[in-house]
Structures are given as structure tokens and as C-alpha cells.
Structure 1
Amino acid sequence: MSGGIYRSAHAAPDGEPEEVDEATFMVSVDNTGTFPTAAGDQALPPEVIPASVQDGGGTVYGSSTASRGGAVYGAEPEAEVAAPAESERSTAGNSAVMAVGSLVSRIIGFVRNMLIGMTLGKAIGDPYTSAQFLPNQIYELLLGGILSSVLIPLLVRRRKADPDGGQLFTQRLLTLAVVALGIATVLVTVAAPVIATIQSSSGAAPGYQHLVTQLSYLILPIIFFTGISALIGAVLNVRGHFAAPMWAPILNNLVVIATCGAFILFFGTARGLTAEDMTSGRIAVIGGGTLLGMVVQAIGLLPALRKVGFSWSWQWNPRALGLSEIGGLAGWMLVYVGANQIAVFLVARVLSGVSGDDNASLLAFNNVFLLTMMAHGIIGVSVMTALLPKMSAAAAEGRFSDVSDDLSRGIRLTTTALAPICVVYGVLGVPISVTLFQGGALTSAQAFAIGGVLVVAAFCVIPLSISYLCTYAFYALQGNRTVALINLPVVALRIVGYFFVAQVLSESLSAAGMTAANAVSYLLSAVISLALLRRRIGRLNLGSVARALVKVVVAAAIATVAGLLIVNLLPGGDTPGRGAAILQVVIGGGAIMLVYLVAATLLKVHEVSQVVGMVRRKIGR
């Protein structure tokens, strides 16, 4: 794929150098893909495929506007270029919509997962979590990476090139998607017992596999509605509409929250229940409510289609879609996504065999990963979203030194901003887990176990974000194949780590061990990526990065010591109750942030002043 840049909402007009608006870092909270997915609040280690990739058509495309030859393509296919001030307001407005929608969705999604844990507990929460992974895994294999890397650019290209603004092409694509997703959903649902067997350990509790299968019959149809939602979201984005795709997942989360309430109302919490105790009524409420959430999300997008003037009609003509082109472009994304899904299956299988109510297993692992991704999404993705347009433009013009400068600046900013969050996770893992998760069917011992995993996850956040930054740099350089090939040894190491954990560590350490394996694999991804980027674009200014990282590590170490001392002086100790845990999180977390900020400032970490300045400007506005 050559010649194209898939451009974010923050790209400058063609031919103009763009200054990175520091406020952008605070506005674009999360833009890894503006179309909704079912996996937004239920995640495992597969890396997110960014929506910002090359289209292969020589055109610059974006989430709000795409310019070529002086014309801007967004809500109207033949609109003229807006005045700079108007364009900036439009970009800021779109970014604000996406940021607010993403942040609210993340918060409500996290509330949803908290309530799932409190409602179902470990014994039922683990098979429920396993069943929820299945549609997300199958969706990613069928459409996830292909949508962001291939179909969105094609939709934008046809919207510009076709006399009808891509209407007929989009109708044909949606028609094919309805048929293909429908057939795939039926086949996968019929195969639920086989898939559940693969994903369940032979050492799982009695009834575990059967419960996963029964829940899967209700939850697997999510595949169809997830795919349709994603495609509708893409159609809306291409036509310049961003609000509905960002806010629709909130409907999903609210339905699942209501489902948890209904479960408690009818049956009480699942505390003390085993997988064998789950009656058909309980399964129907929790599984059916989960499916209903995705159905409501898909339906919630339909009014927006009418608003942008798109009318869908049945247009069956697959040959007219150029499937051979789509298949060729999608190949490397399938390699990338497929490798990740193998790792996901293995995680679910190994952790399904963890016994003992007080041991962290699949539900705990997933909750911790969500906390990891929350930190990365708020900080790392914000930096990437702001830097990607600059890197893409510089790469297209052969200014590789500028790509290197942007990448090194991104690494320094991301690391500086994430370091105190890592310290908070490491020092306050148990209090955070007790505060967020303890209650209902989730006991204090289980919350302590989740806290132990969160302590290990503190070492995941920065390697994860740096590996993402490198991936975005490769996308700017049109290196989709390189990204897929890098991912193969990374996932291989991750899988080896999982096998090592399963064979060597005790069950009580399995979830923490797998989290550590993730951290090592992210670090390997970053190292390989930086080495290949150096060969591709030359110097990476790693000396300045290393000097900045040393200062950040020292500031983080000082904050860690201060945090440990303060927490030891507070009531609750290592096994705090809910009240003491909240006190430790508030006072200890605040102290860690303050000490880190002071230490980094004294050490002259330049990026700290940038981050503080961004916050001050944001508050001032």
C-alpha cells in the first residue's frame, strides 16, 4: 500500500506545517477507533489496531476531514476548504465530542465491570468473562483489523470518487456484511461447545465448561451486532458524524448495568454459587441482557444514519466491491489479529483452571487489564493522536528526521506522564482494588488478589504505550506488513510466558505471572520496533530519550518511597477495609503525584513543564 495517509482530526491543511497543539493532548482522550465495538470494556492483550492507517490511494483521509487538491471531504463530498479558524473550531469540536464520549463511556464501562464482579463473583464471573471473550475474538478475526485498516479508507475513497458519494458502494458493502456476519454468527454459535472446550482448561471447576457453552449460545450473536455497529460507525465517520459512534457504547453499558440490577433483584448476588448452580433463568438474564446491550447499541446508531442522509437498501453484488483488492490489503491485518487471538485463547484456557475462591483468575486478570488500558488510553493514545498526523505528513514527504523527532518526543511525553500512574498502581494496588471491586459477590480476599495482579501490571503500562507509539510510527511509514511481522515473535514470547506460568507458578500467581508475561512481550515489541525504525529512518534521538528516562525513573523511585512511607502510616495496613482503602488511595495517591511532580521538576524533566502547562491552559479555558 503506497502513497496515502489516513489522517486524524488534528491534521493541518495540505502543504502546511503543523504545530502540535499541546491542548490537543488534553482533548483527544481516546481515538484508537471511532467506531464502536463490543470489546471496548472487556479486553485482553490483543493490541488495538489504530484507525489511522494508509488507504493506498494517494489521498489524505481523516476522521473529520480529508483533503485533496484543495477540497475537504467530510460531511459533504464536494465542500470547499473552510477558513483556518472555522476548520480549527470544527476539529476542536469533533475532538471534544470524541473525548467526552470516550471518557464517559470508559467510566460507565468500568462501572459495568465493577457491577459484574460484584454481582457474579469469581466462580460465575470467570466463565461469564470467558464467554464474553468469544464474540470479541471472532469479531476481531472477521472484521476488527480489516475494518480499520482497509474498509474505512475504501469507504472514504469511494465517497470522493463515485458520483453518488459512495452511496451504492456502501449499500453493497453493508448488504454483504449482513449476509457474511449472519452466516458466521450462526456457524460460530452452533460451534459454541467446541470453542468453549478449547477455551476451558481440563482442570476447570465442575460445570465451568458447560456454563461457558450455555452463556455462549446467548452471547455469541453479539458478533453480528458488533460488526453491524462498527460498519455503521464507519459510515457515519466517513460522512463527518462522530457523536453517535462515540456515545452509542454507553447505551450498551447502561443495559448491562441494568441487567446486573435485574439479576440481583430476581436472584440476589451469585455469592456462594458454583457454575453448576446456575439455573436456566439466571443464565437467560445475564446472557440475554449482555446480548441486548449490543442490540440496543446497534439500533441506537440508526437515527444518525438518517441524519447524515444515508439510506440503506438491499444491494447484493459482491463482485462490484472488489473483494480481491480488499482481501489483498487485509492479509497482513489477519496475521496481526490472528496471532493475538491465539494468545487470548491461551489466557482464557489457563486461567479457567485456577481454583480457590481467593486466587486471582480470569475475571481479575481482565479487570486489571482494563485499568492498564485506561491509563494508556487517557495518556498514551492522546499523545499518539496528536503526533500521528505530523509523523504521517513527514513520512510522506521523506522528512524522516522529523518522524524521529516526533517519535522521541512522544516517548518522552508518554513516559513522563505515565510514570506516576505506574507508581500509584504499584504502591496502591490493593487499596485501589478494594475500593473499586470489593462488595457483593466479590469478597475482600478476591479484591486483595486482584490488587496483587495490579501491582505487577504497573510494569506493563509504559512498555505498552511505547510499543503502541512505535506501531503508529510504522503506520505513518506505511509499514503494515512490518507491524504484523514484529507481532509474531512478540506473541510467541507471550505464549511461551503463559506456558511457563502454567507449568511453574502456583495457581495463586497465575494471573500475575501472565500479566508479567504481557509486560515482557510489550518490552520486546518496543525494542524490536525501535531497532527496525532506526534502520528505516536513521537516528532516533535515543540518547535524549535515555537521559529523560533516567530522570523519570529517579523521580518515580522517590515518589515510590514517599508513597510507601505515607501508606504505612495510614490505617488499614496491607489488608484495608473499604474505608481505609479509600483513605489510602486519596492521601497516598495524592502524595505520590505531588512528590513525583516536585522531584521531576527539580531534576529538570522538561516534559513535566509541558504537561503542567497543558493542564493549566485547559483549566484556564
Structure 2
Amino acid sequence: MPGLRSSRHGGTRESEGGLDTDTLRLVAVKGPPSRAGGGSASGLARSSAVMAAGTLASRLTGFVRSLVITAALGTAVLGDAYTVAATLPTMMYILTVGGGLNSVFVPQLVRAMKEDADGGEAYANRLLTLVMVTLGAIVAAAFLGAPLLVRLMSNSIARDEAADSVAVVFARYCLPTIFFMGLHVVMGQILNARGRFGAMMWTPVLNNIVVIATFGAFVWVYGTSGTSSMGVGTIPPEGVRLLGAGTLLGLVVQALAMIPYLRETGFRFRPRFDWKGQGLGRTVRLAKWTVLFVLANQAGATVVTQLATAAGEASGKEGAGFTAYTNAQLIWGMPQAIITVSVMAAVLPRLSRAAQDGDRGAVRDDISRGLRTSAVVIVPVAFAFLALGSPMSTLLFSGVKLEAARGIGLILMAFGLGLVPYSVQYVVLRGFYAYEDTRTPFFNTLVVAGVNGAGAVACYLLLPAAWAVVGMAACYGLAYAVGVGVAWKRLRERLGGDLDGPRVVRTYARLCGAAGPAALVGGAAAFAVTRSLGDGVVGSLAALVAGGSSLLGVFVVLAKRLRVEELDALTGLVTGRFGGGRSGVPSR
């Protein structure tokens, strides 16, 4: 699904191809540190550590949240109905306001806070008022149009009267979260501009805790999907209301938790409706490419959602539909969110400074460094998903039916190697954003969305229904591989020469040369254990331990023999971030 990848079941993760909020907060607020190091560099490292820790906590609690939701609702039609409804708010937010906030409005906000006589307070109040009014109108329209939106996301759910009824009720509880997503982002950026980073990164944990508690209560009352016959026709209305209200409450708590921190900084919200002549119109015009970028993303997202829900219904199997796809994708995307985003958060400030200075060689070096450093983790993890996806899923999703857990495992294996081009694309696009170029990423996204959509259609038409979503997951990685080829060529032209290609390719080739045999050994070990102990909780855990330790051991030995020097660089990065020292990114 190019573009929108929510944090699953109603989270607030941003569009994957655009400026991620973690990186943008860091760059926009702290500014580019000097290359010589010093105070700003240490401040960057401290800010990065706070953000990285918050991101990690948010991802981990978000993952627990996904497990609890899947245990409660399963991966059949009921699970798909909730997933579709909970995906809608994030999609609507990104389509309307979210993309512009992250790529255009936030830099303008930070500039006003630095340059205006009042520290940008009036601009911030105007922006916050404008966002609240806009999102309030969007929520009202979306609430009334919920049946149409559900149909837009999934015809198969809309055709089933019971499923459509449940999905629409879920959607009407979830859609007001659009308002609180925007509120949280703007308040968080105001805080970051005043040097307060923790609230923005840690408050999503509160959202996850509320949702975990809500679905935990549901499981306590009604049992898990693996032990009950709960479905769209049997879920009681009070159960639907409980889950819908809990999902909404999570975002409300996340947003309102920002207010005490804002008050501590001295900021007081006062509605400002004097928008005309204040530069907001120019800012809106600047956002046009980001809006088109998001539209292209969501076109691909909608195609996959429609086809995945239809394939799951046609297969008649658990673990073969949209919910299984999103759960596998959540596991698959975590290394990217934790590793690649963190690496580029440290690299992007000086990458932006180099672009501003016209130093193409420095931009090339930083892109190369980001690719090679993140690859040390991303490449072996991608192979690990391919080799160990099945025991990972049967262990993590032990609360659902075994058929469903196995289905998620197959989809995770199909996603596996696509993590490599997905991560590469993320890094390469930072080069365009360093030059404040949002037009090129838009056209690149058209390519990715087109390939992914075409691949999804081909899988739906040509493969058996039970395997269609597995094929869609494989096509997702293929689409990003094509996108990397296009983006790499354009960035090389932009920089007027080579992108340190031979060195980057050599690093990836060596890592694949180490990870491939390691995956064979690890997969064989896991398979042997599973055959002996089965794929229950004990067998899956033993298979994962045996396979994972074998894979890691063989990979490290082979990587050292192949002289993958970036292993030491990544070790320094991790030590610097979480040990309170330097940022760990090697100097030029």
C-alpha cells in the first residue's frame, strides 16, 4: 500500500514517503548543527535520543495494541471491518491537512517563531485555529458520509449487510479522531519549537495504553477470537460501542495530554480568525505537490484495501485478508521506523545544510552514509523475515486461530526482502527534501503506486484467493524496487554525477552475501524445531530462538569475513544515541 501506513487500527503514523514527523521535528527545531561538532551537535544527540526512545516506546506499545486487537477481533470479516474503519481517519487526515502540516506548515511555523517579534505566537494561534476549524468541518462531513467512505474502502464489506453495519458504526466512532490528530501535531510542533521534545514523542504511548485497556476489557468479557465465535453478525452492540469509544478516547487523551506542557512554556491558545494577509495563503500554495503526493499514495492504498478485503472474503480462510496484511506489514515496518528513521534523523540536519551551501559532494556522502549505515540492520532483518516469518507470527499471534497466524506468517515472508528497497527509497528521498523539492517525490510516488496497484490487481485476478494477499505483499516490495531505480537516477542527475554507487552497491552485495546463507541456516534450524515440537507457543518460541540465533551468528561471522565496515559505524550510532554520547554518525 504505497503511502499511507497507519500505525494500524487507528494510529497516527504519517505518510511513509513524505517528511516523517520524527525527522522534521528534529531538523526544523534544532536547525542544522555545525559540522565541527560542539554544543549544537551534543544538543542534536540529546534530542535524537529523546525522540528515538519515544519512537521505540510508541512502536512497541503500538505493536502490543495490534496484538490485542487481533486477539479480540480475529483476521476474518469482523477484524477487517474494524481495520477499515480505523484506517479511515488517518487516510482522511493525511489527504486533507496532514501532508501540508508536515512538509509546509511546520517549517513556516518554526520560521515565524524565530523571526516574528512575538516569537511567532500570533502565527501559531492562527494556524491552530485554522486547523481546528478545517478539521471540524472535515469530521462533520466524514461522519455523515461514513457509509460511502466504507464502500470506497471495501465493496465486499459494504455488500455484507451485517459487516457494513458494524463497519459504519466503528467508522463514526473513529472519524472524530481526525480532529485530535491535527490538534496533537500542531501543539507538538509548537512545543518542539520551544525546545520541548518529549511530549510529542511520548503521548502516543498514552493512546496505545487506552486502546490496549479497551480491547483487553473486551477480551475479558467476550473472550478471544480464537476461543469464541464472535463475528459481524454476533458481536453485541455494546461491544461495538465499547471498542469504538475506546479508540476515540485514546486519541483524545493523546491530544489533551499536550496542554499542560504547552502551558508550562507560557503559550496560551487564543483563537485567531484574521487569516487574510498573514502568509497562510502562500503556505497553502506551497503545499500543492504534497497534496498531489498524498493523493497518489491513497489511490494505491485504496486499491489494495479493496482487493485484500475481497480476497479474504472469497478465500473463506482466516489470515488471508486485509487485517492479516496490515498486521504483517506492521511487524515488517518496525525496523524501518526504528533504524532507518533514527539514522536519517542524525544525518538529515547536515544533509540540509550541505544542500543549502550547494555542496553536492557532501550531500552525496551523507546519502551514501545513511544508506550504508541503515543497511547493516535492514538487510539481515529482511532475510530474517523471509526465513522466520512463520514462527514469528505463530508466536506473536498465538491468541488467534492457528490458521490465521500461519496466514500472517506467509504474508510477512512475502513482504520480507521488500524491506531493502523500501528503506533505500526512504533515504534517497531525503536528498530531494534537503533541496526542498516535493515535486520529484510526487512523480516517484506515482510510479510506486502504479506498480503496486497493477501488481495487486494481477495477484487478485491470477492467484487463488487464499494466496492473493501474499502476492500483494510481494508486489509491495517490487514496487519500491522500481521506485528506487527511478529516484536514484533522478537524484544522481540532480547532483550532477555519481551517488557513490559502487561503494553503496558493494556494501549491499556483501550484506546480502552474508545474510543469504545465514537465512538458509536459520530457516533450516527453525523448520527442524517446528517439525519436532509443532507450531504452538512452545514450538514457535523454540524455533524462533534456534533459527534467530543461528541466523545472527552466521551473519556476523560472514559479514566480518566480507569486511562490512559499517558494522562498526552502526555500533557507534547506537552507543551514541542511547548511551548519552555523540550521535555516532561518522564525520566526513
Please tell me whether residue 149 in structure 1 is matched to residue 108 in structure 2. no
Please tell me whether residue 247 in structure 1 is matched to residue 202 in structure 2. yes
Alignment partner of 1:162 out of 106, 116, 119: 116
Alignment partner of 1:91 out of 44, 62, 69: 44
Separation in 1, partners of 2:146, 2:91: 13
Please tell me whether residue 181 in structure 1 is matched to residue 135 in structure 2. yes
Alignment partner of 1:107 out of 42, 45, 60: 60
Alignment partner of 1:425 out of 385, 389, 400: 385
Task: Give 1:400 deviation, angstroms.
Answer: 1.0
CA offsets per residue over residues 114-136 of structure 1, 9 Å max, x none?
00000111232111000011000
Please tell me whether residue 226 in structure 1 is matched to residue 184 in structure 2. no
Identify the range of structure 1 (90-99 vs 168-177) with the bigger mean alpha-carbon deviation: 90-99
- 1:447 corresponds to: 405
Task: Give 1:61 deviation, angstroms.
Answer: 8.6
Give yes or no for contact 2:52–2:342 (8 Å, CA) kept in 1.
no
Separation in 2, partners of 1:345, 1:288: 25
Tell me: CA distance 1:613–1:199, structure 2 relative to 1, closer, same or farther (3 Å): closer
- Structure 1: state its 5+ residue gaps: 1-35, 55-59, 73-80
Identify the range of structure 1 (205-214 vs 294-303) with the bigger mean alpha-carbon deviation: 205-214
Please tell me whether residue 318 in structure 1 is matched to residue 275 in structure 2. yes
Separation in 2, partners of 1:149, 1:43: 15
- 1:47 corresponds to: 17
Give yes or no for contact 1:601–1:609 (8 Å, CA) kept in 2.
no
Separation in 2, partners of 1:225, 1:573: 50
Number of equivalenced pairs: 566
Separation in 2, partners of 1:172, 1:612: 44
Please tell me whether residue 288 in structure 1 is matched to residue 248 in structure 2. no
Structural mapping, 1:354-433, within 5 Å: 354-355=312-313, 356-433=316-393
Tell me: CA distance 1:98–1:61, structure 2 relative to 1, closer, same or farther (3 Å): closer
Tell me: CA distance 1:142–1:371, structure 2 relative to 1, closer, same or farther (3 Å): same
Across the aligned residues of Structure 1 and Structure 2, the Cα RMSD in angstroms comes to 2.6
Tell me: CA distance 1:105–1:40, structure 2 relative to 1, closer, same or farther (3 Å): farther
Tell me: CA distance 1:390–1:62, structure 2 relative to 1, closer, same or farther (3 Å): closer
- 1:3 corresponds to: none
Aligned to 2:545, the other structure's residue is in SS state helix
Alignment partner of 2:469 out of 511, 524, 547: 511
Tell me: CA distance 1:338–1:279, structure 2 relative to 1, closer, same or farther (3 Å): same
- Structure 2: state its 5+ residue gaps: 1-5, 582-588
- 1:201 corresponds to: 155
Higher helix share goes to which structure? Answer: 2
Tell me: CA distance 1:574–1:151, structure 2 relative to 1, closer, same or farther (3 Å): farther
Tell me: CA distance 1:231–1:44, structure 2 relative to 1, closer, same or farther (3 Å): closer
Give yes or no for contact 1:207–1:276 (8 Å, CA) kept in 2.
yes
TM-score with structure 2 setting the length: 0.91
Separation in 2, partners of 1:52, 1:358: 35
Task: Give 1:268 deviation, angstroms.
Answer: 2.9
Tell me: CA distance 1:286–1:506, structure 2 relative to 1, closer, same or farther (3 Å): same
Structural mapping, 1:589-604, within 5 Å: 589-604=548-563
Give yes or no for contact 2:28–2:110 (8 Å, CA) kept in 1.
no
Separation in 2, partners of 1:345, 1:164: 44
Identify the range of structure 1 (245-254 vs 579-588) with the bigger mean alpha-carbon deviation: 579-588
- 2:90 corresponds to: 136
Give yes or no for contact 2:23–2:344 (8 Å, CA) kept in 1.
no
Tell me: CA distance 1:110–1:188, structure 2 relative to 1, closer, same or farther (3 Å): same
Task: Give 1:249 deviation, angstroms.
Answer: 0.5
Please tell me whether residue 350 in structure 1 is matched to residue 307 in structure 2. yes
Aligned to 2:118, the other structure's residue is in SS state coil
Alignment partner of 2:168 out of 198, 213, 218: 213
Please tell me whether residue 119 in structure 1 is matched to residue 79 in structure 2. no
Matched-pair identity in %: 33
Give yes or no for contact 2:211–2:250 (8 Å, CA) kept in 1.
yes
Give yes or no for contact 1:52–1:149 (8 Å, CA) kept in 2.
no
Q: Which letter does structure 1 place at the counterpart of 2:185?
A: A
TM-score with structure 1 setting the length: 0.86
Aligned to 2:423, the other structure's residue is in SS state helix
Task: Give 1:412 deviation, angstroms.
Answer: 2.2
Separation in 2, partners of 1:494, 1:561: 28
Task: Give 1:151 deviation, angstroms.
Answer: 1.0
Separation in 1, partners of 2:23, 2:199: 22
Tell me: CA distance 1:615–1:383, structure 2 relative to 1, closer, same or farther (3 Å): closer
Task: Give 1:569 deviation, angstroms.
Answer: 3.3
Tell me: CA distance 1:344–1:571, structure 2 relative to 1, closer, same or farther (3 Å): closer
Tell me: CA distance 1:92–1:543, structure 2 relative to 1, closer, same or farther (3 Å): closer
Tell me: CA distance 1:562–1:187, structure 2 relative to 1, closer, same or farther (3 Å): same
Aligned to 2:93, the other structure's residue is in SS state helix
Separation in 2, partners of 1:147, 1:45: 12
Tell me: CA distance 1:408–1:94, structure 2 relative to 1, closer, same or farther (3 Å): closer
Task: Give 1:236 deviation, angstroms.
Answer: 0.9
Separation in 1, partners of 2:370, 2:38: 27
- 1:192 corresponds to: 146
Please tell me whether residue 477 in structure 1 is matched to residue 415 in structure 2. no
CA offsets per residue over residues 537-571 of structure 1, 9 Å max, x none?
11112122222222222111220221133223324
